[in-house]
Structure formats: structure tokens, C-alpha cells
Structure 1
């Protein structure tokens, strides 16, 4: 027999046993209650099942006779169903996949985007273990155990004959006592990332922090700091070796700032001669020099009004331009080349350099007062070799980008190749890694990149283990006569030989101490103990 569901709203005056009397009427009519909610605003809401409308009407008439009941009416939904529908609408309105799990790791919510990514439906996924969707060891289970969030973990899973490639981030859900009661995952289909990247390539300044690939704690701290300082207007100085991504950071800071809708204008200070750089930055008046445009020209400070001016390679500017730049930073005013009028400018400065500005100040190449004006918020981007744990993520992202540009299908690194990349010093940082991978992808004719390709086509070499010395000169020899020396004597002899070897190439106790990881005083004491002259 078909069953029908109804929701009644009961307005009442509270009294003892009112709930019991209402429930008794349901029992008398042999009608099952499905759910109930009570609130001061809505009164009592009860959802029930019965076989016909006539049974429902009879129950409602009977409920009206209960002492304390003011009115009884029908509603379309229970309040919790309205809230559930509202939540479902919100979850389905976002562009990312969203999946929520309870503390046992069972799925409690999944939006339409996530259902589409994983080729399932809301009905099929609800109540499933997370492992049924994500395969073995989904990272959200670690979050449920430890409470630690994770960000942009890349995963590939197989479902039937399809490969699902996605990035996932997750956070724990805590109750008011701080206990973990579940977790929420966001899912990004990698095709979405590629579409965004293609848009970024067409609009080169629309880069945000989402495009900086990392998983290391050091980079996480740097990005969080950069996001915080982006909200202000203070000058930022980006430090880091060539190829570490200083311009990408500058663009991301601009996009995170209140100035994001205004221009972001970069200029490489090392790429222009002194006079041309000055006219580019400050503009010029008509007739300022031979060849000057009629009517003069706005400089980059004026063009970037309300936005951000990125001064790359700031360590290369001449003393003359340093003086003019210092004046802008101090007074917020510029004067065009050949002009007398002071022009106010509202521009945030982000500068960048790979040079050691402190040494340049000492040698008189860089003004100390300008350095302090630029170094208000210093951000140092670590070299790639200092965050080797980021290399796998970066390499995968670069391979996808390059393969798409070359029109090649999916290509991946073997474990041995990835291990090789991780052990390299990468003096050119991410730029060198990208160039290396692009060279390999141009000559590869299969889907797998093996180490031999790097040995044949690049300068990469296997890292030699420290346990395999190149010659006998690196061996420590312990003299043994009639009897074995004591362990204390062996240790002393090893120390003596190591000190002698290091001091051959590092001719001071201070330098030797730096190599061996001890203080200058320790080295001096050891040298005195073993009769070694500095």
C-alpha cells in the first residue's frame, strides 16, 4: 500500500504532559511519526506517514481538540529539511567539489561537482566510507586521526576505464569542545586547473597564490606571511636567487591586495640603460631630449597609479636613479625628466633582487637610506634545493604544462627519475628545472621519463654517496702496532687527521669550524691539543 508523508505545525500553550497527549493521538490513529522539531518561533513540527489524506485530516482534527493546542496546520517541509536544502544549494553553487565525512570517515555530504568528478550520485555516495571514493588511504582519514589540515594534495585514481586526476585539500570539523567530529574535503578536477592556467597565460598578471606550487612547511609559512602583508600598503622587498619565482610572488601579492583591480606594472631594472630606465620610470616632458615624443610621456609611476609597481633586479640601478627613487619613496612625488612640476603618485612598490644588498652598501654600490626604505617588509624565497620536498609537485605541474604546449599526451617520471631530480642542486632553481624538463619532453617518444634520458641530454648526474670515497686520500688510517689502541686514542687520531685534511683547504680555525659544524674556539682547542699550528 502506498504511504504518504505530511508535516504538521502545532502552535500551543506549554503545559505539563502536552507532548505525551499529542503523541497519544498518533498512537490512537495508528500513524507513524518520522521526525519532530520544537522551536519558540515555529512551535512543534511533526513529520508523519499514513496511507491516505483522509487519515491525515482525521488526525489533524483530533490534534486540535488537545488541551493547550492553539492551531494545527500543514507545511511542505520540516525545518531541518529546509536547512538541508539550503545547504545543498550552497554546496552546489561553488565550482569546487565538496565532500564531508563524519568521524568514522563515512560520507555525509557530497555536492554535484564532486559527484561529477567521481562519476557517482548523491544517493550512491551517501554513507559510503571515504576509501570507496578515494581508494586506499585517503588523506582525510589522517586529518580525522590527528586534526591536521592538508592543502592541494595531488591524486590519481582509477574508476573503471577512467583515470580521475584531482587536487584535494581537507580540514577537520570540531565541536564546541574542540573534539574532531568529522572533516571536509575540497576537490579540484585537474582539468579546471589547466583551464585556469590557460586563462592566466592570456592574462599574465592574474596570478594568485593558488598557482604557487608547494607542500613544504617553509613555503607554507612564506605564503601565509605574504598573504598577510599583501593587505597593507608598505613596500616589500623580495629576496631570492634567480629563478625562484620572485615575479610570481609579486603578482600574487598584488592580486591579494586591495589594489588588485588597478594596474600591476613590472619592469626589469637590469634590462635598460640608466637614462632609458629613468625616463621609463618617471616619464618626460616634451623636448626633454632629442627624440622625445610630442606632449611628453607618462612614466610607469603615473601609469601604475592606484596599483603596484614591481621593480625587478633593484640591485642593478645606478646611484643617480637610486637618488630619484629614494625621493619618491620618501615624499610620494615624482618629477618627469625635463620637468619642474611635482606630481603626486599613489603606488605600492614591490622590489626584488638576487644581489646581496648589504655587501653592496658596504662597497658603496647601494645607498643605505634607500635600502631601509625598500626593506620595510623583507620576504626571502628559498632556493629549490632548500625545499626539495616541493620538487615532485612542481615537476608534475611543469610536465603537464609543457606537454600541453607541445601537444603531447600524458607523460610521467619514473621513481628513479624523480629521486634524481630531488638530489640535484638546481642553481637556476625552478626556471632551470622547467628548462630541463622541456628539453626532455621535446625528445621523448613514450610516456615514461627514465633517468638515462637526463644523463644523455642534460647535465644532471647521480649524486655520489658519501660512503664511496673517490681516492685513498679521503680514507682515515689508524696505525696499529703490537696492540690495538684504545677507543679514546682511535677517536683522537680520527679527529687529528680530519682537522689536518680540512685545514689544507680551509686555512683558518674559523673556516674549518664552519665546515665541521663546531665553533672557532673548539677548533683552536683541538689544534692545541693535537699540536697543530694554525
Structure 2
């Protein structure tokens, strides 16, 4: 029976069920099939045009336990499936309808079953046999079709999900042939899907593919930096490869998940906090000189040229650098700051340019990206550029000229798109004249120049800044100081402020910390005048008596245990902090 029916039912090009041959063939052959139908193991009925059972066959009536001849099959009112209609198309172009019905036995013998029946309406058949029902065989086919469609929908949905992710995904079989790639994979390596499927990855790439190692070793390789050479194009990736096993533990293939190095670098920069937080609105001042510097900086921010910022220590050079970055088109990209004076000569090289695995003893496995790679697409702030040694200046010059870096221990250039903002408190022009700074690098960095004025050059901003620091530090210290008394203001205006903004902020912080009234007085400012004195000089001052153990403990609480910052907050030296804690 199965073989006979299979001759007349097949799939079309779209995967739909269709009737093979003329519908008349099925009609004429029905009588020849009746013997097989009579003995078939399943629900098989012949219905008339009104869906009444014309005859019930042995197996069907045995299962239903009743004579169903003359019974009517109705659409089940409570089941949405019963209302479903599926169109079938025969080779003759005639359409047929397949409907789903339910039959419920009518005997009162306790049976509470409903039988699922699939029927097909054959066009142009005689009125007495408008419905030919092969309930089990054809109904099963409909159920199979429904399941196939369901799983097909789920499969297509899964593919759409994989295409929606930003990471590249590729899957290979045990022979290393690509069986699946998502849209991001094609975008990242710039090859269309049809040119990838079926290709062996070891032939496709000139470099050894990661999945080749995964297939060979049967172990996952996670988050490794990788260079893929496809069609003479080098693609810089972060890869993870995972083996896929069958039920017996044999390797059936592998899956590769990767992203471009630029996205990984941006993500790492975000996690590491490599973002600029200050904007031009954070630069406090009403003097014409500071307003002019802000105006120039905003103009320079619109370009991608390098900028040199020069000014005394504590004038806010990084504040300007961050503001420029946040005002530029690179604002959503990393901002990475590095102080060139904070690293010994043997470390600053690897810090800036990175290194390959095995470049030196203790080198991190897999190598490490340098600050220029991390800043790719954004801005790198080189503070105290005047402290950079000449051999590093030569390397930096090559980066500026070629827009690429080469890691220590490597020979492969890595392209970087980075804007450099350099800052110094030294006179670089004098250093150039004395041979301590490369002239060519100096002019490469000084495309735009901003000279930040010292605090003594903008005295009209001192009180504005002082009041700003009172408000800012009130929140930080959970204080409620209302302002600064007139005599204290006079002291602030007349001070030279060699430490500039940093010194002023520390002075206000120290005064605010010991102030127990509503206003900072001149007595509160005396502590800052002692900064830089040795302990013996400070110990002779009666003011030290006011710095008690509890104040030190409070300062440590505010600075989260940082004794250096606590000392700055109190306006005393760090050894004094230790002495008070001991005593």
C-alpha cells in the first residue's frame, strides 16, 4: 500500500506536497487499491461529498470499536488545527484541498478519544466520491509535512539569529570544509558566502587556520589573536575555536567565532575605562585668556591633526586633551593616556607598541597589544612627551609617518588610525635646539599648538575656581561648607600658585576637611603653606595639633586607604601620616 501511494504523492521544487499525474489516475485506481485498503493497518475511510463515511474498513472499525458507516466527519470546533487548509498542486495543474478533521466515536462505552483524520479533495471526481480519505497514510504525510514546516521555520529562525550577531561564525566538517558561514563572517573577511561554502579552510587561507588546530587537537582554543591571509589580504582577528563531537566522542567538525581586532580593542578599551570623561563645559574660568584657549581647542578638535599642548604642571593639560577628544568625531572611540615619565626606558617601548609572544623573558603568552593598538580609531594622549628618550622618539616618528606600529619581537606592521595629543611642561623648542628632542618629530606633533596659561596668569579665575572646588568637594566629603570668607579669599588671590589648579584644589580640599563651620577662614588655609616643609618644621607648628588621629582616619576613609592622597588632602607629608597613626 505504501509503495502504491508513494507513486502519486511527491514534493515539488518548493518542498510542498503535490499529486503526481492526473487526478483521474487516483480515481481509476481506487477500486484496484480497495483490497489493500480493506486490510490496511490504519484509519482508512471512503467518504461521500457530504463527508459521510460510505464504508468502514476492517482495521479502522476494529480500532474505533464501532460501525461508522454513515457517520459524518465534522470540523472540530475547539481545535484551530481542524480549520487548517493545505493546498496541493498536481502535475496537471489542478488544485486540491487537504483538510484536517476529527472523528469522535458516538457509542456511550466510555471512549473519549478523538481521531485525527487528513482528507484530500480531488477535483473533477464524481459527486459520490468527492472525498477520498486515506486517513493514516495521507494524514501521516500531512503531519510529517507540518513537522517539516515547523522544523524548517525553526531552522530558518536559527539561521537568522546567527546572521544577526556581529561576530563572524563559521562551521567546518571533519574534513575542514566550510558548511556554514554567517553574514558577519563574509563581511569581516570580505568574501561572499557562495565562494566560501564547500571550500577547505586550509586551502582558502595562506596562514594556518585556527580550526585546523582545533580539528587536529580536539580542544578549544579561546580568545587568541590571529592574522588570516585570504586573497593576499591580511585580516587581524580575535578568534575562538571549538570542536564538535558526535555521540561516540568522535570529532565531527568545529565552529569558529571571531571578531575584527578593532571591535575587540574598542571593547577592551571600554572595559578598562579608556574613555574621556571631561568636556569643555568642565573647564572653569571667566578670563579672556582661558576663553580664547577653549575657542582654539574647539577649532582644532574638528580636524584629525596632531596637537601639542604646553603648560606648567597642574594647569589642566589632560583636561583640555579629553575635552578635545570628546568634541571631535572620535568621541565614541577610545581615549588612552600614558605618562611618558612614569615608565622606565625598557618598559615604555612595549607599553606603547606592544610585543609578540616570546619577545622577551616573561612576555605574556599570545603577546600583548600596546597603547597605540588600544587607541585605534581614537586618541592617544602622550603626557610629558619631553621625557621620551631619543630612540623612542625615532619609533614614534615612524608611527606618525606610516600610521602603523610593529610590536617588539614582531615583523608584521599593524595599521593604526590614532590622533596624537602630546603634552609637556618643558620648552620643546629649546630641547630641539640642544639636540634632546627630534626636530622632525617636534613639527609632526606641533601641527596645532595650545599654550595653557598658569593660574597666576589668570588671577581673575582663582576665586571662581575656588568656589567651584568647594561645591565639588562638599559632595565628595559630604560636607556643607557655604563658601570662603573675605580674608581667606585675599590670601588665595595673592598666592603665586606654582602648582596651579592642582595646588588650588588640594588647598581647598585640606581647608574644607578641617573646617567645622559654614565658611573657610584664613586659619584653614595655613596648612597648605606648610606643604613641602620637612617633618621637624611641621612638628614645631601648633597647627599640627589640630591634625589628630581621627582626622587622619577620616582622610584615609575618603581616599580608600591611600596614604599619599590622605597626606595631600590634609596638607602634610606622608611620613607625618605614619607618625600620627603610630602615636
Scaled by the length of structure 2, what TM-score is found? Answer: 0.43
Q: Give the structure, 1 or 2, with the largest relative contact order (CA under 8 Å, sep 6 or more).
A: 1
User: Higher Cα Rg: structure 1 or 2?
Assistant: 2
TM (normalized to structure 1)? Answer: 0.47
